[in-house]
Structure 1
C-alpha cells in the first residue's frame, strides 16, 4: 500500500476503483440511487486528485531540481554535489528527521566554497523519487554509500548529521570506516532514548500522522487542518521563525516538497523506528556498542544543557521530581555517542542553545565544521571561536 500511495497519481486510481464499485452495484441492483453516491464520491476524489497533481506540477515548475539523479536499488535519488575536489574531505550533510538535503543547504552553501559538499535527498524526500518499502536507517546507510559511489564522490568523507540524520551518519561510518575522515553527530538521536525513554506523544505522532497526511494529500486535502492541530507553544513558534530565517528560500522549498505523499509515506515507514518496538526490531543493525568505531575521529556537537526540553508535553506535564529525572536521562543518553569511538571529542554548542542549535547559531556551526574538515579543530579553542562568531538573531 505504501508504494501505491507514494505516487502522485494514486488518487485517480482510488477514484476509478470507487467508480467501478458503483458501476458494479448498478449492474447488480439496477437502482441508480444505490450507485449514485459512489459516482459522486468518485467525482469528488478525481477533482481533488486533479488539484493535487496541479499543485505538484506548479511546485516542480517553481522549484526545479538543482542537482543530478542516480539510481540505487531501483530508486531515483537526487544528489547535489558542489565545490572543489581538492585534498580536503568530501563533506556529506544530513538534516534531522527524514529531511531532504534542503534542510542543510545553508551549511552546504558556506562549506562548498572550500570543500566538496554533498546533499542527498533520502528516498521519497525532496526531488528523489518514491521509496522502496519498508525503510530503515541501516538500509538507507548502505544506500547513501551507493549514491556517493555513483555520484563520483572521491577521497575521504566527512559525515555530519543532525538528530535522526546523525544516527544515519553514524550507521554509514560503521559500514565503511576506511572511507571516513571524521564523523560529526550534531545532537544525534541516541537509540537508548527510544528503547528506554518515556513514551513521548510527539514521537507517536511522528510515526502515525504521516500516513494520513500522505493519503489526504492525494486528494488535495490537509490532514493537519482537518485534524484541528493545537497551536504550537510560543517557544516552538520562535524556533520555526529562526529556522526559516536561517534556511531562507530552502525553507519554502522543503515545506512545499514535504507535502508530497511520497515524502509522508517515507517518513511514516522509517519513523516506526522511533518506537520501543520499532527500535528493538532493528537494534542490532542500527545501534552501537562501546568502542565499535575504533579510533575514528568522532565529534559530538550538542548543547551542554536541555534548553527547550520543557516544551515537550511529557516534560511540561510531569511532576518536578520526574521532570528532573527525565532531563538527566536525556543529558546522559546524548553523551553515549562519545563511547562509540576511542577518539571522540565533545563540542559544546553556544550557551542557551536548543536541540536545533545549528539553525540558532549557523555561523558558529559552520566555523566548527570547517575546522573539523581542515583538521584544525582543537577543544581548547572552542571558547575563542564562540566569541569570534557574530551574534545570531
Structure 2
C-alpha cells in the first residue's frame, strides 16, 4: 500500500509539474507572439492619453463636422476599413479603439455606456478635435453613441445607427437570448484565462477570418493580431457583463433623441422572415422561433428609428450585421448624403 501511495504521489507531482511547465511555456509563447504581432502591425493612428490610459485614435480627411466611428462588441478600428477612407474623401472621419480593444491599453473594470461616452469626449478633446460631431455606432456601439448624445447634446450634430443594439434587446428576445447571453459570457470568461497561455491563439479561436469576409487579407491579418491579445478577451468579458443588464425587465428603454437628425441602417438579412425560415430549416432549428426573433429585431430597429422626430430608416438589402463591410458602397453613399443634408455643414473638398 505504501508503494502504491508513493507511486500515485509521484504521478500526481509529475502531472502538476508538467501542467505548471505547460502553463509557463504557454504564457511565454503568448507574450512573445503578442510582441511580434504588434511589431508587425503597429497602430495605424496615434495613441492619446485619456486619464492615464492610452487609447488609439485613427483619423482621416478634413472638414467639419467630424464623423466619429464607434465599433461594436469586441471590434476595433479595422472593422470600418471598407468605408473609412472613402468617407474621408469629403469629410474628416475618426475611428478609435475602446480600452483593451484594438491597440488601446486595457483597464481592469467594466465600464458603463456613460463612462464610454466620457472617455470618448476626453479622447477627442485631448486630440484637439473640436465639435460638432456626427456619431456613427455599429451594433453595441449604437448604445455608446446615444449615451454620448445624452451627455453632450450640444456637441452632437447627428447620429447614424448601424444595425444598432437596443438596450432592451435581451428582454425582448426572452427566453431565447437569456441562455445565449449566458453561454456567450461563459465562453468568453473561459477564453480569457486560456488566452493568457496562448491556447486561444493556437486554436485560432479569435482569428478574424473565421467567417467569409470582404476585408483584404492584410487587414484580416492585422485584425487577427490585435484580437489575439489577452487584453481583447478581458475587454469583451467586461462589455458582456454590462450588456447582460438588458436581461432585467427593469432596464429602461432607449432615451429620446428629440429632433436630432438620425439615420438608422438595418441589416436586411436579419429582418427577412423568409430568409430566416430557410436558414432555420438548413440548420435544423425551430422555424417559428427564428422568425419570432426576426420580428423582434425588426420591432427593435423600428423603435430606434422613432427615437427622433427627424429620422430616416433604411433597410439595407443583402446585408448581414456588418453593413459597412457587406454593402460598403451603399453605406458610403447613404451616410454621405445624410451628412451633406444636415444644415450648416462645412466640408473640405
TM-score (norm 1): 0.74
Tell me whether 1:57 sits opposite 2:35 in the alignment.
yes
Q: CA deviation at 1:251?
A: 2.3
Q: Return the match for 2:149 from 150, 157, 173.
A: 173
Deviations 1:155-184 (A, max 9, x none): 310111111112222221221111111100
Instruction: Summarize the Cα distance change of 1:136–1:255 in structure 2 as closer, same or farther, 3 Å threshold.
Output: farther
Does the CA-based 8 Å contact 2:61-2:93 persist in structure 1?
Answer: yes
1:283 corresponds to which of 242, 251, 254:
251
Superposed, 1:1-393 pairs within 5 Å as 37-84=15-62, 86=63, 88-198=64-174, 199-200=176-177, 202-222=180-200, 225=203, 240-241=211-212, 243=213, 245-246=214-215, 248-275=217-244, 277=245, 280=248, 283-284=251-252, 287-289=253-255, 292-304=256-268, 306-307=271-272, 309=276, 319-349=286-316, 351-375=317-341
CA displacement at 1:56 relative to structure 2: 0.6
Flag the 1:310–1:139 CA change in 2: closer, same or farther, 3 A: farther
CA contact (8 A) 1:164 1:189 kept: yes
- The CA distance in 2 between the partners of 1:105 and 1:373, in whole Å, is 19
The 1-side partners of 2:83 and 2:321 are apart by 17
Task: Give the secondary structure class of the aligned counterpart of 1:105.
Answer: helix
Distance 2:203 2:250 in 1: 33
- Over 3 Å counting, the alpha-carbon distance change for 1:120 and 1:281 in structure 2 is farther
Query: How many residue pairs are counted as aligned between the two chains?
Result: 328
- Distance between the aligned counterparts of 1:188 and 1:146, measured in 2? 24
Counterpart CA distance in 2 for 1:224 and 1:50 is 13
Unaligned runs of 5+ in 1: 1-30, 230-235, 378-393
Helix, strand or coil: the match of 1:340?
coil
Q: Partners of 2:189 and 2:291 in 1: how far apart?
A: 34
Q: Deviations over 1:209-228 (max 9, x none)?
A: 2222221121121289499x
TM-score (norm 2): 0.83
Q: In structure 2, what is the Cα distance between the partners aligned to 1:310 and 1:356? A: 21
- Cα RMSD, aligned residues only: 3.1
Distance 1:66-1:37 versus aligned 2 partners, 3 A rule: same
Alpha-carbon deviation of 1:73? 3.3
